[in-house]
Amino acid sequence: MANQQVITKVENCLFAFQSSLVHGPKPLLFLPGNRRSSIELSWRNGHLFTAVCCVLAEVHSLLCSDTFRTKRSIFYKHRHLFRAQKDIDTAIGIACDILEATRFQLHILSTSRGLIVGDLILETQRREVIDCRIPTSIPSFPEHFNICCCSAKFILIVEKDSIFQKLAHERNTDLTLSAALIVTAKGYPDFSTRLFLRALSERTQLPLVALMDADSYGMRMWLSRTVILVSGIEIFLNYKYGPSRISHESGSKILLPNTQWLGIYPSEIDWFELAGVQKLPLTLRDRKHIVSLQYRFGDDTCVNEEVG
């Protein structure tokens, strides 16, 4: 979507709000033709309405000047308005839904947590060269890059930074790892890492595989077979199918449907012959979590085999 298209949408949205103020029946911020996504000005949500208008004003300014800003910089610029991080997250999400555009199309960036290492050299749209042969951060513009050199054979996604650092060190002496582009988002994947992985896999046509560490829930993640089952599968499926709510804010470009799960599988845990004290019983919360996974991803083979 070109800048001018989004600019026109922002302006049409504000014109529609002005018209609703004059003609009623109630003041709404919406895009003509898309009343399903709107926000009403009322005493109850006046603060949220103001926050969304602030985001739209920032978006209009960014698009007109063809510049980008991070979500964090907008948050601190309007610190008096956005009381917490969730306030700006909600406002941006509503703005994306109303404008039917992704966050990147609004020129709002998220600071990526992601790291990559492997035999890959990129050039960004700003003519910056990124040498991924040493561990480096995911580019700020995760869709806009050219591949200068790549001899990797596959893309390996790992969950935690500690595993990433270990594999990055070992790839110098391991033939299999030396053929991989190793990527981590340091836990649950953020928007920029997802977008970068999708663009990278499409341009290189390399297979995507995921090696999931089993302690995404911090202190809850001991050596329990059950908890490993919940976390490992969920994070893999989060990469593959996206978060529970795919909105205009993220778009389908963050999905990685061809990702294959390497393990560790819950069915393999018995191989480690863990002592009874190293296992935790299923809690009610765990059982509800398993049911939610089955409900969301029941058509996936690994869910049927490992959770069902």
How many angstroms separate the CA atoms of 265 and 304, rounded? 12
Say if strands 145-150 and 129-131 run parallel, antiparallel, or are unpaired: unpaired
Q: Is 102 helix (H, G, I), strand (E, B) or coil?
A: coil
Q: Tell me: cis bond preceding 147? Omega within 30 of 0 counts.
A: no
How many angstroms separate the CA atoms of 59 and 72, rounded? 14
How many angstroms separate the CA atoms of 266 and 158, rounded? 17
Q: Give yes or no: 295 in active site.
A: no
- Assigned token pair, 64: 């007109």
Query: How many Å from the N-terminal Cα to the C-terminal Cα in the chain?
Result: 41
Count how many Cα atoms sit within 13 Å of the Cα of residue 283 in the half-sphere of its side chain.
9
Q: Is 22 helix (H, G, I), strand (E, B) or coil?
A: helix
How many angstroms separate the CA atoms of 122 and 125, rounded? 10
Selecting among 76, 217, 241, 265, the annotated active-site residue is: 76
Residue 143 in contact with residue 166, Cβ under 8 Å?
no
Non-local CB neighbours of 172 within 8 Å, separated by 6+ positions: 178
Residue whose C-alpha is closest to residue 45's, from 94, 97, 106, 96: 94
Which residues are marked as active site? 76
